[in-house]
Every structure is written in structure tokens, then in C-alpha cells.
Amino acid sequence: MIPETLDPGCLYMFVFGPGFGESIAVRVPPDRWLVIDSCYVAGRAAALHVLPRYAGQCECLVLTHRHQDHYPGFSSVVDYAEWPILGCNDLLLDERVATSRDLESRLTGELEQAFSAIRERWTANSACIWWTWRDSTRNVGDASLTALHPREELARNYAGRDNNELSSAVLLTWRKTRLLLGADVPNPHWAEICERFPSLGNHQAMKTPHHGSDEALHDGFLQGTRERLWIVTPYNRGKKLPRFGDGHAVHRMLRHVGFVYLTGLPSGHDQQMGSPCEATRQELNANTSPRPVAFSLPGGIQGTVDPVRNDVSCYVVARFDEAGRGEVTSCGPGTVRVTEAAMRRDA
């Protein structure tokens, strides 16, 4: 279940990923909120399952890029609050760059609604504008946000076709907690980012770039302690992500940390709407359905969490204290905690 209350002294990160789409909401103590991207969960924007529940100040909202799995419901999140900081780097929002044909042809649909909502706010209040170019910063309460990508020069001269290359990765720093929010940035851009920001492996938690795709992982942020918390949002269209085979993304990640959390699998399974689950990478690679998370009670009693009727699924909630100690506090139905199979040792 989504927590009923939040510890006022801790930072919380909510990561939603229902298979197609992702959204992140971060509560900075005591009551400031950051939201990055949007997707639909149970019929509405994921962030709107969180913001009304806990109240507080909606401080910063960011759209990382224009891919369809990042903007559904974004306009409704814009409309929810005043948002003193509203970030994006898409040059269609810059009327000096966008052509009249661009503006006239983008009149309907979710992306157009998102752009219209951003442009309306930016026009009404220029102080809220954040072009999320590399090295630009904003504060959310006591937390600092630093845009890692893209360089403005790259965006203004970009002639490619993959908008992931212009995706806005962000580093959030609060007390001794660092969250690496990787958006959908692929390689080779991470090599350049890690050269500019050489300590990215020093983080407490990461929303892995581009749904844990092989091409988005880089040693510059993979290297570090095994105690870090990594959360992967799946992608269930076409070439499904992440992949679980030897040498692929999840295998590579588990060389550096003891486990990873998936907000869901890139394919359905029979526990999808039941309890949070667990599985080994090898089991998932063999298409074995994950198991409900087991628990133990004093007296040797063991069992699994009973499914709870809850329309909100496919999310992971993590909490971090001032010392940077973090833990997962709750997971929604459909989430999977993935480990590497234990090496067999003969007696």
C-alpha cells in the first residue's frame, strides 16, 4: 500500500512504472514536492495518487522529453498546482525556434496538451521557466537539482531522430542523500556526462536510465557500493526492457548491487495484480512467474502477503534519512525484487 503518512524528517521517492510509462515524485522534507514526467496509473496521472494524499508545496515539475511513455497526464499535473519551477528543454516551446508549421501541426493529443500547458505557464510567469540544460540548477526546499543532460548546444544543433538523446537526466542532492534520476539518456552521452560529473557512482539511489536498457548503462555510475538502491521501470512494447539474459542489463546491474527493484515486468504475470513479488534473474530469463514476497513471524510462522484490493500498482517507495540511509518502505502489486541466483556449493 502507498504509505498513509510520511516521516516529516525523511526524503521520499515514489517511482511509478506500469509497463508503459514512468513518473517520479520526490518529497523533500518537510513538504516540498518534485515531479518528473507522467504516466497513467489506474486512470489518472501517477503523481495525482500522491500529491493530494500528503498535501504540501508543489515546487518543481519537469518533462524530460517528448516520448509517449513520459507525458501522458502531464498537463493534468501542470494544472494541479502553480509550480514555481516548470522544467523542459524541448525547443518547440521556444517560439523563436519552432516554425509556424510545427505550432500549427501539434494541436491535439497528450503531447500537445502538455506543451500547451507548459507554454501557458511560461508565458504567464517567466520566473517559473527552467530550460533544463546541463549545469543549470534549481532548489526544491533544502534539496538541490542539477541538470546533467543535454548540453544546450547539442539540443540546438541536434539533427538526429531519437529524442532520448535530449532527455533531461537530473541529480538531486539533499543532506547526505544523492538521487540519480537518469531519464532515458543512452550511451554514448553517459560517457560525456560522467566525465563532466565524475562522482555519479556516489549515490544512494538511482532510477536507472531508459528502462534498464543495455545501451543506457555506463561504468561511470555503475561503480560504487553494493548498498545502493536501483529502481527500474519496464517497457513492454516492441523490444521489451529490461533484459534478463547473461551479459544483459539486469545481469550487469547485479554485479554491482545485491538486488534491483522493478516497478513491473515487461510482460504480464499471474501475480501482476496481487502482492509484490521476488525472483532471481535466471528465473525471469526463463519466463518463470515471480513469487509473492514471503515473511517470517516469531514462532516459525511463515507466509506471503495477502493481496490487497488497491487500484494503484507498479510502484516502489523509498525513504532516506539525513545520514543518507535508505530503505524501500512499500511496493505496489506487480513489482518485483530481483536477485542473482545463489551459487551452488557442494557439501
In a domain, 1, yes or no: no
Amino acid occupying residue 22: E
In a domain, 250, yes or no: yes
Sequence-separated (6 or more) residues with CB below 8 Å from residue 208? 182, 216, 217, 230, 231, 232, 233, 242, 249, 253, 260
In a domain, 345, yes or no: no
Question: Tens digit of pLDDT for each residue in 52-91?
Answer: 999 999 999 999 999 999 999 999 999 999 999 999 999 9
In a domain, 2, yes or no: no
Task: Please give the tally of structural domains in the chain.
Answer: 1
- Average pLDDT (176-184) is 98
Query: What DSSP line would sit under 83-126, residue for residue?
Result: -SEEEE--GGG-TTTS-HHHHHH--SSHHHHHHHHHHHHHHH-G
- The model carries a pTM of 0.92
pLDDT at 342: 80
Q: Is residue 172 scored above 80 in pLDDT?
A: yes
- Round the average pLDDT of the chain to a whole number and report it: 90
In a domain, 136, yes or no: yes
Sequence-separated (6 or more) residues with CB below 8 Å from residue 317? 2, 3, 12, 13, 14, 15, 328, 329, 330, 331
In a domain, 3, yes or no: no
In a domain, 4, yes or no: no
Any idea what the CATH number is for the domain that residue 290 is in? 3.60.15
Q: Is residue 347 scored above 50 in pLDDT?
A: no
CA distance 266 to 230: 17
Q: Which domain holds residue 101?
A: 11-339
In a domain, 213, yes or no: yes
Backbone angles phi, psi at 34, to 5 degrees: -115, 135
